[in-house]
Amino acid sequence: MKTQAGRASEPFDALANKNLIYWARDAIACMGYTGPAYVGSLPTDDWIAGKLTGLDVSMDFGMRTGPLPHWWDIGQAINLLKRELKLCEIAAHKENFELVIVGWQWKKGKHPLVGRRQPVPMGCLIRKSYGKSFDDVERLPRHWYWKPGARFLSSPEGDLNLSQTELKQLAQRMHSLPAGQFEQTIVDTIRTVAARNPYVGPNCMSILLAPPHVRPFVRVTFFPQEIHPARFVGSKFVSPEYSAAFSPWVIGAQMVSRPSVLIGNGWSLQMGPFTVELGGGVDDGPISGMSSQKRPQRATR
């Protein structure tokens, strides 16, 4: 996250979270945004989490269990966010804003997720271009996944970000790579952009959603540009520094976890049928720790 004065920009919250994992009634999805970092006093990801859950996210909690005030299907969640975004201060900003939602969707009901009920890939975009109002929700075409290849979105378009030619080259390169190299290839590409665009940071978070009918599994991996230190702190104890990783919002029917700082080998959360694996920092031995991430107050100019 950056602040800007004139043409100069300075890091404000370099490790700000911009992602959410959302288990809806009929989908498992990842949400990520670019654009204004705060709505009112709340970081934008906190604001989105509050709208999805109906919880007061300004309250101090790291993890919450039990039923949510609201648990939507993915279509309801998308329409809710579209409506609320049009009513909030982001709609009045000149800056561009984009919220990407991708994942797996299935037919609601108690039947097994096989045959016609087997989950299918889904994706949509809620976009507001620079100086304009919000567009209609853009959705990937029906059965788009029947064709081979990869799809990417780079925002905003321009010389400092990825050009259409670079995106096509990346998609072609991904098509020839083994799956195990996808994440690092995308991270390397983002860091190439970060080197020429001061608004793009080199620290990356990857969220992998496995096909739910094959394995209900979500993996979060933090790719730091450099080591980020963290300590265990008690009333009479301060530990040595350990390398830290970070996690996004994790939201399900009976569980909500805030963005967290992780030490050690990481943590595993159980969200209904889904196992959510939060990758830790560099292996520091048997030490493990997890704490909600403290967020700075909104910057003032």
Higher pLDDT, 265 or 126: 126
Other CB atoms within 10 Å distance of the CB of residue 31? 26
Residue 37: what are its φ and ψ, rounded to 5°? -90, -10
pLDDT of residue 284: 57
pLDDT digits (tens, 9 = 90+) for 268-281: 999 999 999 998 76
Q: Quick check: 210 pLDDT over 60? A: yes
Distances, alpha carbon 181 to alpha carbons 73, 147, 150, 174, in Å:
33, 21, 14, 8
Peptide linkage before 259 cis (omega within 30 of 0): no
pLDDT of residue 124: 93
**Taking Cα atoms as reference points, which of 257, 187, 208, 179 lies closest to residue 29?**
208
Q: What is the pTM of this model?
A: 0.89
Measure the CA–CA gap between 301 and 137, rounded to whole angstroms.
Answer: 33
Measure the CA–CA gap between 20 and 102, rounded to whole angstroms.
Answer: 11
Contact 275, 218 (CB under 8 A): yes
Retrieve residue 117's tokens: 């009920």
pLDDT digits (tens, 9 = 90+) for 146-189: 777 677 776 666 667 888 888 888 888 888 888 889 999 999 99
pLDDT digits (tens, 9 = 90+) for 44-89: 999 999 999 999 998 888 899 999 999 999 999 999 999 999 999 9
**Taking Cα atoms as reference points, which of 76, 9, 91, 6 lies closest to residue 44?**
91
Average pLDDT over residues 2-17: 53
Measure the CA–CA gap between 265 and 179, rounded to whole angstroms.
Answer: 23
Helix (H) or strand (E) holding 47: helix 44-53
